[in-house]
Chains A and B, each alone.
Chain A
Amino acid sequence: MFVYEKKLQYPIHIKNTNPALAKFIISQYGGPDGELGASLRYLSQRYAMPYPELSAVLTDIGTEELGHLEMVGTIVYQLTRDMKPEQIRRAGFDTYFVDHTAGVYPQFASGTPWTAATIGVKGDVITDLTEDMAAEQKARTTYDNILRLSDDPDVNDVIRFLREREIVHYQRFGEALRLATERMDEKNFYVTNPAFDR
């Protein structure tokens, strides 16, 4: 089960309202490579992990991603506080605002609602860990792109932290795959699926 801690993983203190930034940062909340997808991907894949280290990695990284979801939500919340209608129009935030006011809704930057179609749960150790490594890189690229577009130092400070977490997770998933293959038949890793053919 999960126990809530009333604190963020990393401090967030954004001084200036800026809906133009919120408009694309929302993608890391509910977008194709965002934190909601990351947490649900790992926390759903873990049931099919046949080795204890892998159950641990997916549980612990999946849980951390829930903390990152909260952090990205916090960024969007703080960037959109006390917005004025003129600011909303000028920022092009009107299309989001008309549907969600200043609520935080899991959607792509393009407006598509979050969808489980962006995550994979294949029930196969090699396949799922390979997806997870790609997922970390996709999230890292998205954070790189946010850093290219954002000029707010309070926001970029947090984005740099989140981006670096993707690199650490990539390493851990890679190590998890190493540990898995060490236990598999090295003459043919694909002879069976150890999560199914016991």
Chain B
Amino acid sequence: MDNCDYKNGMLPQCAPLAMSYTPMQQCSEPAYEDKMALARGTLFPGLDLPFMNMVNKPDGLSTPLCELMALDFVVHELRLYLDTHPDDSEAFQSLQTCIRLSREGRRRYVEQYGPISIDDMRFADSYTWIDAPWPWQLRRKKED
């Protein structure tokens, strides 16, 4: 059963009755690049199962905020994967790389557009935490 492709996973050959069994995802690869992952709602093509085969395109996700959202989304997807695959050292390395990229992206975003967390106040000139837009408010497309 080592020849499962990425859309399939392993099941026990003989399994006790009266239990349900979900196939384990085999590997954190293949994976979408970050903006595609955000657009599709998953990092993993094997789990990408759209309704009526209608999918979002990553075209609109090129603003600085969307770039940060995409990096943070990959971190989150790897985190959920690692929660059930804690011994997958490749996925763990990917997680560490993505966290570093996200840190850097966050620093650049905050410098230009304002705080994301209260920590970002530590080098600010004034208390900009309260400034609009809050996440639910419509942003002008450029800064979005």
On whether the two chains bind one another, the answer is: yes
**A contact set with B: CB distance below 8 Å:** 3-14, 53, 56-57, 60-61, 64, 70, 73-74, 77-78, 81, 126, 130, 133, 143-144, 147, 156-157, 160-165, 167-169, 171-179, 181, 186-187, 189-190
Check B139–A13 contact: CB distance below 8 A: yes
| Alpha-carbon separation in the docked complex, A77 to B134 (Å) | 12
Check A4–B73 contact: CB distance below 8 A: no
By a CB distance below 8 angstroms, the chain A residues around B138 are 13-14, 78, 81
| Alpha-carbon separation in the docked complex, A175 to B135 (Å) | 33
Q: A53-B86, A130-B20 are in contact. Are A168 and B40 (CB under 8 A)?
A: no
User: Measured between C-beta atoms, what is the minimum distance from A62 to chain B in Å?
Assistant: 12
| Alpha-carbon separation in the docked complex, A161 to B51 (Å) | 11
Helix, strand, loop or mixed for chain B's interface?
A: loop
Check A171–B18 contact: CB distance below 8 A: no
Q: A7-B68, A172-B84 are in contact. Are A160 and B56 (CB under 8 A)?
A: yes
Check B42–A167 contact: CB distance below 8 A: yes
Partner of A5, one of B24, B54, B79, B116: B116
User: Measured between C-beta atoms, what is the minimum distance from A172 to chain B in Å?
Assistant: 5
**B contact set with A: CB distance below 8 Å:** 16, 18-25, 38-42, 44, 47-52, 54-56, 60-61, 63, 65-66, 68-69, 72-73, 76-77, 79-81, 83-86, 115-118, 129, 134-136, 138-139, 141, 144
Check B117–A3 contact: CB distance below 8 A: yes
Partner of A179, one of B60, B76, B84, B136: B84
Check B25–A175 contact: CB distance below 8 A: yes
| Alpha-carbon separation in the docked complex, A6 to B63 (Å) | 16
Partner of A4, one of B20, B50, B56, B117: B117
Check B42–A164 contact: CB distance below 8 A: yes
Partner of B25, one of A156, A160, A171: A171
Check B135–A74 contact: CB distance below 8 A: yes
